[in-house]
Amino acid sequence: MYFWKCWRETRVSFYVFLLIAVTLAVLPWKIMDYAMGDLGAGQFFALAWMMLVFASSALLSVAGMSLGATGISEEFAHKTAGFLLTKPRSIRFFVWTAWAANALQFLALTGTMVLMGASILSWRCHVPFTGRLLLTFVPGLIMTLLMFGMTYLLGVLHRNGRNGFISCLGVVIVFPIILKSLEYFWHVHLPSPGDMYPVEMSEMILHPELIATLPRLWPLVGWLLVALACPFIAQLVLERTEL
Amino acid sequence: MNEFAIGSENLAKAYGDIHAVRGINLNVPRGGIYGFLGRNGAGKTTTIKMLLGLMRPTGGAAQVLGMDVRHERIAILQRTAFVSEKKTLYPSLTPFELVRFSRGFYPTWSDSAVEKYSHLFEIPMKQRFEKLSNGNQTKVWLLLALCQGADLLILDEPTTALDPITVDQLMHVLAEDALDRGCTIFFCSHQLEEVERIAEYAGFIDHGKLLMEARLDDIKSKFRLITAAGNSLPAQTSPQVLSVDVEEDFYRYVVTRDAESFAAELSRNGATVTSIATLGLREIFLQLVRKEQ
C-alpha cells in the first residue's frame, strides 16, 4: 500500500522525466546526423555514443535527486509522519519501500534512455550492440544512484526532501572542489566517484574511441556500496527519531 | 497491568530539564471509555505518543493491551486506532484513496463500516483531502480509525472543527458501536462536556502529573461544594478539602469525600451550612488544576 502511495505521488514527475529521456535518447543521433553527417561511421558512432552517455548522466542525476527528495522525508515535511508511523509496520519497511518505489522509477528511466538510445545508434551506425559498450554507462549510472541515495539520506536528516535536494546539490558542487584542492595543495588523493571513469573526460572528448575502455571494477563496487548504504543509514537515523 | 487496556508505572518523558510527563500511573480498564483531560500543554499528547511508540519514555514503563510499548510497537499498532491532534493527511489523496491506503495494513478492516460511517458523517469521498473543510478532514481521520476494527481507539482531540451535529453522531457511534464491539476508547480532550457525556472513567493531567484518576460517577458523587456562614471557620486545605474560598463570613469548601461529616463538623463549630451541592466535571477539573497551581 505504501508502495502504491509513493508511486501515486511521483508518477507525474516520472512521466515528465520519461518523456525527456525518450527525447534525449533520440537526440544524439539526430544532432550528429545534422551537424556531422560527413564523418566516418566509426567516429560518428563514438561521438554520438559519448553524447548519449553524457546526456543520460545529466538527466539521470536530476531525476535521481528529485526522486530521492520525494521519499520518506516528505512525510515529515508534510506532517503526515504521525499518520504513517502509527501504521503497524516497522520503520525499516517504510524507509526501504519508499526507496524501492523511487529506485524502480529511476531504473525504468535509466533502462529506457540507455537501451533506446543505444539501440538507435547501433542500428543507425551498423555497430553491434554489445555488453561491453553498455558498460560505458555504468560509472554514470552508479554516480547518479549515489546522488539519489545521498539526496534520500540528506532529506531524512533534514526531515525535508527539498532541503535534502539542495544539500545534495551543494555536496555535488563542493565535494569535487575539496578533492581537487587536497590533491593540488597537499598531494592527497582521496577516493572520489571520478575514480570509476577509466579515462579523463577531456581525454575522452579528444579521443572518442576511448569510450569503449572498460571502467574500473573496484571503484564501481565501492561507490555502489556507498549508494546502497545511504538508505540504510537513513533507516538507522529514523529508528532513533522521535516525532 | 494486563486487565487494563492501558497501564503505566511512573511513565515519564523529559527533554533535558523540561519534564513533559512526570511519572504517571495510568490504569485504563478494558471495554470502557476513559476521558484523559488536561489543559493545552499538560502532557496529554506526549503521553499518547509514548503509548504509540512515537516517543521513547525517559522513565517508567507502559503497556498497551498487555504489550510493552518499548518492544512491541507493531503488535500494539495492529490493534490500536489513533486519531491525531493534528489532522493532516496526504493532501493529494481523496478519502476513498486514503481508505484504500489504510485498508492494507489491517486484517480486521471493515469495508461495511466505511460504507456506514462515510454516509453517516457525509464525507465527500472523491474530493482531494486538501480541498476538504477542516471539519471534513477530521471526519476522514475518524472514519479511518473507526473502520480499522481496533481493540483500542486513542482519540486525541477528536472533535476539532466538528459541528455540533457531527459531534453528537460521533458520541453516539463511540458510545454504542465501538463499545458493543468491546473496544476501549481513550478519549483525550479539553472539551470537558463531551467527555462528561460519554466517559465512564476520567484522568486529569496537568503539568505532566496525573492529578486524579477514577470512575467518573465516583468522582462526581464524592466531590461536593459546601457553602457555610460563620466566624473563624477553618480556611486551610487538607486531603479532604480541595479548596476554600472566603468572602466576608461566607465560606465555600470543595471537599473530595465525606461531605456530610465535614458539614456536620462545621455545624459543630457554629457554622450555618447553607448548601451542599454536587459539582460538574468542569468545576472539579478547575478546582484540581487551581490546587495544583
pLDDT digits (tens, 9 = 90+) for B29-82: 999 999 999 988 899 999 999 999 999 999 999 999 999 999 999 999 999 999
- Quote the mean pLDDT of chain B: 91
Give the β-pairing of B201-206 and B184-189.
unpaired
Confidence of residue B2 (pLDDT cuts 50, 70, 90): low
Residues B268/B207, Cβ–Cβ less than 8 Å: no
pLDDT digits (tens, 9 = 90+) for A189-211: 888 888 887 777 667 666 766 76
Eight-class DSSP state of A89: S
What percent of chain A has pLDDT above 70? 95
Q: Which of A130-134, A144-148, B240-244, B261-265 has the lowest mean pLDDT?
A: A130-134
Query: Which chain A residues have a beta carbon less than 8 Å from that of B77?
Result: 86-88
3-state secondary structure at position B94: coil
Cell matching residue B166: 457531527
How many angstroms separate the CA atoms of B53 and B78, rounded? 12
Q: What pLDDT sits at residue B283?
A: 87
Region A147-163 average pLDDT:
95
- Quote the mean pLDDT of chain A: 88
Region B130-158 average pLDDT:
95
B31-56 CB burial, b ≥16 within 10 A, e <16: ebbbbbbbeeebbbbbbbbbbbbbbe
Query: B1 pLDDT exceeds 60?
Result: no
Between the alpha carbon of residue A75 and those of residues A156, B55, B186, the distances in Å are 10, 17, 26
Q: What pLDDT sits at residue A66?
A: 94
- Which amino acid is residue A108, in one-letter code? A
How many angstroms separate the CA atoms of B132 and A139, rounded? 47
pLDDT digits (tens, 9 = 90+) for A13-33: 999 999 999 998 888 777 777
Region B156-171 average pLDDT:
90
Q: What pLDDT sits at residue B202?
A: 93
Q: Which of A69-73, B21-25, B63-67, B115-119 has the lowest mean pLDDT?
A: A69-73
Eight-class DSSP state of B121: T
Confidence of residue B178 (pLDDT cuts 50, 70, 90): confident
Cell matching residue A177: 572542489
Alpha helices in B155-269 (DSSP H): 164-172, 179-180, 192-198, 216-222, 259-268
Please state the φ and ψ torsions of residue B29, each to the nearest 5 degrees.
Answer: -65, 150
3-state secondary structure at position B186: strand
Contact residues of B toward A, CB < 8 A: 49, 52, 54-56, 74-75, 77-78, 80, 82, 84, 86, 88-93, 97, 100-106
Q: What pLDDT sits at residue A208?
A: 66
Pick from A5, A82, A242: CB nearest B101: A5
Contact residues of A toward B, CB < 8 A: 1-2, 4-5, 8-9, 78-80, 82-83, 85-90, 242-243
Q: What ipTM did this prediction achieve?
A: 0.88
How many angstroms separate the CA atoms of B94 and B131, rounded? 9
Eight-class DSSP state of B226: E
3-state secondary structure at position A76: helix
Contact B91 A78 (CB under 8 A): yes
Q: What pLDDT sits at residue B49?
A: 95
Query: Which chain B residues have a beta carbon less than 8 Å from that of A8?
Result: 92-93, 97
Residues B84/A243, Cβ–Cβ less than 8 Å: no
Residues B73/B135, Cβ–Cβ less than 8 Å: no
CA nearest neighbour of B138 among B174, B106, B166: B166
pLDDT digits (tens, 9 = 90+) for A40-77: 777 778 888 888 888 888 999 999 999 999 989 999 99
How many angstroms separate the CA atoms of B153 and B148, rounded? 10
Cell matching residue A6: 509513493
Query: A163 pLDDT exceeds 50?
Result: yes
Angle at A109 between CA A197 and CA A159, to 5 degrees: 85
CA nearest neighbour of A193 among A181, A179, A207, A210: A179
Query: B158 pLDDT exceeds 50?
Result: yes
Residues B19/B57, Cβ–Cβ less than 8 Å: no
